[in-house]
Amino acid sequence: MMVSRPTRIYFENLVGSLLEHPDGYAIVQYNAGKRTLSDLQAFLTHASQLLHTRNWNRLLADQTAMAPFTDEERDWVKKYWLARNDRPMFGAIVLPEDVFARLSVNNLVSEAESAALTYRVFDNTIDAAAWLHTQA
């Protein structure tokens, strides 16, 4: 199991599940398979709402099973989702197993560097969660 403490499901769609961790951070868990841009937009908009509603600034993005981002998805994430975060945020990203998805995530993260986002990439959720717990 990804976390040792119970989590609560906040939102789910074809893209994945958004979970509330009792230690005060969001878990963004991506599903395998294709998705539509509108489903990704809804998914990440709900992630923003969860962070804002709970006044959290940490998230664990488990992209292990995720398919590569399309160019359209990558552009939307950079221009709208990441750009809207105006306060410091910490992200622990668990890289996808699929090599093309891994490349897509690495490209997105390197292109979207932001003063408000501090992130680290990991190969597993245990190390990602451990790092996230050290962030204020």
Q: What is the pTM for the complete model shown?
A: 0.85
In a domain, 3, yes or no: no
Of residues 4 and 33, which shows the higher confidence score? Answer: 33
Tell me the CATH number at 109: 3.30.750.24
In a domain, 2, yes or no: no
21 neighbors 29 (Cβ within 8 angstroms)? no
What pLDDT does residue 113 have? 59
List the domain range (segments joined by +) for residue 128. Answer: 8-133
Of all residues in the chain, the percent with pLDDT exceeding 70 is: 83
What is the total count of domains within the chain?
1
In a domain, 1, yes or no: no
In a domain, 99, yes or no: yes
- List, for residues 50-94, the tens digit of each pLDDT value: 999 999 999 999 999 999 989 899 888 888 777 666 678 898 999
CA 41, CA 57: separation in Å to the nearest integer?
19
